[in-house]
């Protein structure tokens, strides 16, 4: 082992350790709810909801005004005793299902959810047929082994 390749794992370990520092810097929202249970639900909600302006960020990651306003709205609704489902329903009714990172199951998007299973079934069928065909070819092969 050359000295260079020996230092590589150390470098990787060092970089991974540095990653640990990044996390607190990503937290955009310093707001805290007094009730820790509400705070926990709040954290989950803002990670599952999309910032409607900067569409690839969650509400938790975005420092856009609208994201800050939506977080405030969510805190208010939590304090009013609304359930997560009620909060999500409200936001979906205003911004469409797009605001949920994980779309809901519905007949409209059933094809999307069933597509992986369908593709897997097609793949398995094709594979089984190919293997059977090849096996049949071997059975019929009467040439002398070389």
Site for another protein, rule CB under 8 A: 52-53, 55, 65-66, 69-70, 73, 92-96, 98
Kindly give the residue spans of alpha helices, DSSP state H, lying in 27-146: 36-48, 65-79, 84-95, 110-140
Q: In terms of CB distance, is 47 or 94 closer to another protein?
A: 94
User: Least distance from C-beta 123 to another protein, angstroms?
Assistant: 12
24-62: b (≥16 Cβ within 10 Å) or e: eeeebbeeeeeeeeeeebbeebbebbbbbeeeeebbbbb
28, 61 contact by CB (below 8 A): yes
Residue 70: CB atoms within 10 A of its CB come to: 23
User: Least distance from C-beta 11 to another protein, angstroms?
Assistant: 40
Q: In terms of CB distance, is 27 or 119 closer to another protein?
A: 119
User: Least distance from C-beta 5 to another protein, angstroms?
Assistant: 44
Q: In terms of CB distance, is 98 or 113 closer to another protein?
A: 98
Nearest to 71, CA basis, from 92, 90, 51: 51
User: Least distance from C-beta 132 to another protein, angstroms?
Assistant: 13
Nearest to 74, CA basis, from 90, 58, 54: 90
Q: In terms of CB distance, is 43 or 73 closer to another protein?
A: 73
Q: In terms of CB distance, is 38 or 92 closer to another protein?
A: 92
User: Least distance from C-beta 71 to another protein, angstroms?
Assistant: 11
């Amino acid at each position: 082992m050359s000295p260079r390749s020996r230092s590589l794992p150390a470098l990787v370990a060092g970089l991974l350790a540095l990653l640990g520092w990044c996390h607190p810097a990503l937290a955009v929202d310093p707001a805290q709810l007094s009730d820790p249970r509400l705070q926990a639900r709040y954290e989950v909600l803002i990670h599952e909801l999309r910032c409607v302006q900067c569409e690839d960020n969650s509400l938790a990651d975005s420092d856009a005004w609208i994201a800050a306003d939506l977080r405030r709205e969510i805190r208010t609704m939590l304090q009013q005793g609304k359930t997560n489902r009620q909060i999500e329903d409200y936001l979906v009714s205003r911004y469409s299902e797009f605001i949920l990172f994980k779309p809901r199951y519905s007949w409209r998007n059933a094809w999307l959810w069933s597509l992986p299973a369908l593709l897997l079934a097609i793949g398995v069928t094709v594979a089984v047929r190919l293997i059977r065909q090849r096996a049949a070819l071997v059975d019929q092969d009467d040439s002398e082994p070389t």
